[in-house]
Chains A and B, each alone.
Chain A
Amino acid sequence: MADPQQLQSTTDAGNNLPFAIIHRLPNFKFSLSWAEDIVNLIEPSDPLYPIHGPSARVAIDIGPSPIKSEHLDQYPSVECIIGTSAGVDHIDLAECRRRNIRVTSAGGAFSEDGADYAIGLLIDVLRRISASDRYVRAGLWPDKGDYPLGNKLGGKRVGIVGLGNIGSLVAKRLEPFRCTIGYTSRTKKPQVPYQFYSTTLDLANNSDALIVCCALTEKTRHVINHDVMKALGKRGIIVNIGRGALVDEKELVKCLVGNELGGAGLDVFENEPQVPKELMTMDNVVLSPHKAILTPESFEALRELIRENLKAFFSNKPLLCELNLSG
């Protein structure tokens, strides 16, 4: 978290560094002290904000803190928003386009961690790692005997919903596990050795497990709906490391309660931090508090990216991981 004391002293130091606005929800704490050799950091709550804030040309958006039109009204000179998360569904991109504001994302900084976590959740659900860890810790092994059998990963058909940065790394990691890999995305990717399906339903019909790792947009909201779950079937597994709203959560709960789905590994939920209570007691479900990407290694990569983008912006060089807002 940026320490206000420190902000003030930098500001009072009278350096010639440009200002950058920190935009964050009050509970999102993230220290940016490592950027203070490039910019002076300022928050809207800062007493000096009325002096320096209105002329700041850059805003750094911490995590998934929403940026809407009314926020942008408070940042009249901002030309560039530096995002710090992989997804950007919390930023009003249409409004940014209208105001000619450029937007960057965290791009690939978190991709490896996201992909690793997806595989971790998939193996956990299939092999019942978290559930059997609970069994051992509860002291049940000596009394109740061997834990019920899990399922094999080898030979499974795994469908990847969204073959972007993270999806491609998921596919690469799955290869030596002898899985058959399919995917769906807006367009078929040339030079990709995996089977392409033009719809998620089609992919689900040909998969034993789905890994959801696409961006959340108006078109992908509830991309995993009742029909997709039905197509995946009784033994099918859903892993979601994208965004909660990619999955119709009510339907998911219904299918799991009714044994119409085999299991799920969920890092994200529709209404975080609320998790449907029906899931809390299921042994075929692994629940995780939106942590797929939270490692020090990822943050180091993110810090580098933000520093590079701040330097690039103020020296009129091309930005890294800039979103194409023209579409």
Chain B
Amino acid sequence: MELKAIGVLMTYPMSSYLEQELDKRFNLFRLWNLPQKNDFFKENSGSIRAVVGNTKVGADRELIDSLPALEIVSSFSVGLDKVDLGHCKEKGIRVTNTPDVLTEDVADLAIGLMLATLRGICECDRYVRGGLWKKGDFKLTTKFSGKKVGIIGLGRIGTAIAKRAEAFNCPISYYSRSQKPESKYKYFPSVVELASDCDILVVACALTEETRHIINRQVIDALGPKGFLINIGRGPHIDEPELVSALIERRIAAAGLDVFENEPHVPEELFGLDNVVLVPHIGSDTVETVKAMADLVVGNLEAHFSKKPLLTPVFID
């Protein structure tokens, strides 16, 4: 069959390598480049059979409904909070994501953020670049090895974080909807209990209705002034204004954040604080992983259109 005739709509400029690979095989449309979206949909919606989305622009109900020939949504992400899964199921649209390939990167970044936050590495770098070393300051930071790490969500990423933290002699505990019988880590049935028992709280769960603002005032207070918060999940996991005031008032020690509620906007009150590390949603942004993710997106589309089993299908409950 002629793949070149198949219209694929990419929602966002997520990877130039992916664009190039899709261009080679399909009739690729770039949603962010369209001057007249209405005209475009009128003209092309019948030929578009696949959407490639990501965590910034996925496939919401409106987009799905405007593409009557849509058969598959292949997401360049592991998280699917920007894809209307219920609606896809209803309409028989298949969904794929890119699990596993980014697990290591996100877990690496979580450990990197813990080290950067506890040991003040970014602050050190600012200090040297600011020419302050010559004035000779003497400030201690916090040791990482041996600290109690509490993980919210013991899925693939949470487990990979746990495995890494164990090599630093960190006792591991976790919270998830239900206890994992196969896990050797200590289980807490509530986030508040987990937060009061650990030194470093890491958010590594999926974003759902139940986990929105899973880090609220109560959890922040339970973590306390010696506690550290790391978020490599999604921005809306944290009640951001609550966190901002806790950081300003030093009601928690520090935070390392890869994600924010209103990306790419980060609360400006944080810019001048030394007890926070701010990185721009780079959890899986490595040359190696982006290539592996792009190959999976393309591979899923090729499998679908040549009627072979999908590589990484999402099963919608």
The chain A residues found within 8 Å of chain B, CB to CB, are 27, 29, 112-113, 115-117, 119-121, 123-124, 126-130, 132-137, 139, 141-142, 145-147, 149-155, 172-178, 272-275, 280, 286-289, 291, 294-299
B278 and A133: CB pair below 8 A? yes
Known: A112-B168, A134-B122, A294-B141. 14 other contacts (CB 8 A): A116-B143, A116-B144, A119-B115, A129-B116, A133-B116, A145-B264, A147-B282, A149-B287, A149-B290, A152-B105, A152-B287, A177-B104, A295-B142, A297-B146
Can you name the residue of chain A whose Cβ is closest to the Cβ of B125? A130
B143 and A147: CB pair below 8 A? no
Q: Which residues from chain B contact A289 at a C-beta distance below 8 Å?
A: 124, 127-128, 133
Q: Which residues from chain B contact A173 at a C-beta distance below 8 Å?
A: 167-168
Chain B 175-201 interface mask (CB, 8 Å, partner A; 1/0): 000000000000000000000000000
Given the contacts A127-B108, A139-B271, A149 and B286 also touching, CB distance less than 8 Å: yes
Chain A's nearest CB lies how many Å from the CB of B299?
Answer: 19
A296 and B115: CB pair below 8 A? no
User: B109 near A: Cβ within 8 Å?
Assistant: yes
Chain B 242-279 interface mask (CB, 8 Å, partner A; 1/0): 00000000000000000000011110100100000111
Chain B 122-143 interface mask (CB, 8 Å, partner A; 1/0): 1011111100011010111111
A150 and B140: CB pair below 8 A? no
Can you name the residue of chain A whose Cβ is closest to the Cβ of B141? A295
User: B21 near A: Cβ within 8 Å?
Assistant: no
The CA of A135 and the CA of B126, in the complex, are separated in Å by: 12
User: B23 near A: Cβ within 8 Å?
Assistant: no
Q: Which residues from chain A contact B166 at a C-beta distance below 8 Å?
A: 176
A116 and B115: CB pair below 8 A? yes
A112 and B143: CB pair below 8 A? yes
Given the contacts A132-B280, A173-B167, A287 and B104 also touching, CB distance less than 8 Å: no
A154 and B280: CB pair below 8 A? no
Can you name the residue of chain A whose Cβ is closest to the Cβ of B281? A146
User: B8 near A: Cβ within 8 Å?
Assistant: no
Can you name the residue of chain A whose Cβ is closest to the Cβ of B110? A123
Can you name the residue of chain B whose Cβ is closest to the Cβ of A172? B167
Chain B residues touching A, range: 35 or more
Q: Which residues from chain B contact A133 at a C-beta distance below 8 Å?
A: 116, 122, 277-279
Q: Which residues from chain A contact B287 at a C-beta distance below 8 Å?
A: 149-152
Chain B 150-178 interface mask (CB, 8 Å, partner A; 1/0): 00000000000001101111000000000
Supply 6 A–B pairs (Cβ within 8 Å), ascending by A. A112-B168, A130-B125, A150-B285, A150-B286, A286-B121, A288-B121
The CA of A155 and the CA of B287, in the complex, are separated in Å by: 13
Can you name the residue of chain A whose Cβ is closest to the Cβ of B135? A273
Q: Which residues from chain A contact B286 at a C-beta distance below 8 Å?
A: 126-127, 149-152
The CA of A298 and the CA of B118, in the complex, are separated in Å by: 14
B289 and A152: CB pair below 8 A? yes
Can you name the residue of chain B whose Cβ is closest to the Cβ of A113? B143
Can you name the residue of chain A whose Cβ is closest to the Cβ of B128? A287
Given the contacts A127-B112, A146-B280, A149-B286, A116 and B121 also touching, CB distance less than 8 Å: no
Chain B's nearest CB lies how many Å from the CB of A266?
Answer: 9
The CA of A280 and the CA of B169, in the complex, are separated in Å by: 34
Can you name the residue of chain B whose Cβ is closest to the Cβ of A117? B119
The CA of A292 and the CA of B295, in the complex, are separated in Å by: 39
B140 and A295: CB pair below 8 A? yes
Q: Which residues from chain B contact A120 at a C-beta distance below 8 Å?
A: 112, 115-116, 119, 121, 144
A286 and B125: CB pair below 8 A? yes
The CA of A132 and the CA of B109, in the complex, are separated in Å by: 12
A147 and B280: CB pair below 8 A? yes
Can you name the residue of chain B whose Cβ is closest to the Cβ of A150? B286
B288 and A280: CB pair below 8 A? no
Given the contacts A129-B279, A178-B104, A296-B140, A124 and B290 also touching, CB distance less than 8 Å: no
User: B306 near A: Cβ within 8 Å?
Assistant: no
A129 and B112: CB pair below 8 A? yes
Can you name the residue of chain B whose Cβ is closest to the Cβ of A112? B145
B124 and A113: CB pair below 8 A? no
- Partner of A137 from the list B105, B129, B136, B278 (CB cut-off 8 Å) is B278
B125 and A273: CB pair below 8 A? no
User: B88 near A: Cβ within 8 Å?
Assistant: no
The CA of A120 and the CA of B141, in the complex, are separated in Å by: 13
B141 and A291: CB pair below 8 A? yes
A128 and B282: CB pair below 8 A? yes
Given the contacts A123-B111, A287-B128, A141 and B105 also touching, CB distance less than 8 Å: no
Given the contacts A133-B279, A151-B286, A287 and B111 also touching, CB distance less than 8 Å: no
Q: Which residues from chain A contact B222 at a C-beta distance below 8 Å?
A: none
The CA of A151 and the CA of B167, in the complex, are separated in Å by: 22
Q: Which residues from chain A contact B277 at a C-beta distance below 8 Å?
A: 129, 133
Can you name the residue of chain A whose Cβ is closest to the Cβ of B263? A141
B280 and A141: CB pair below 8 A? yes
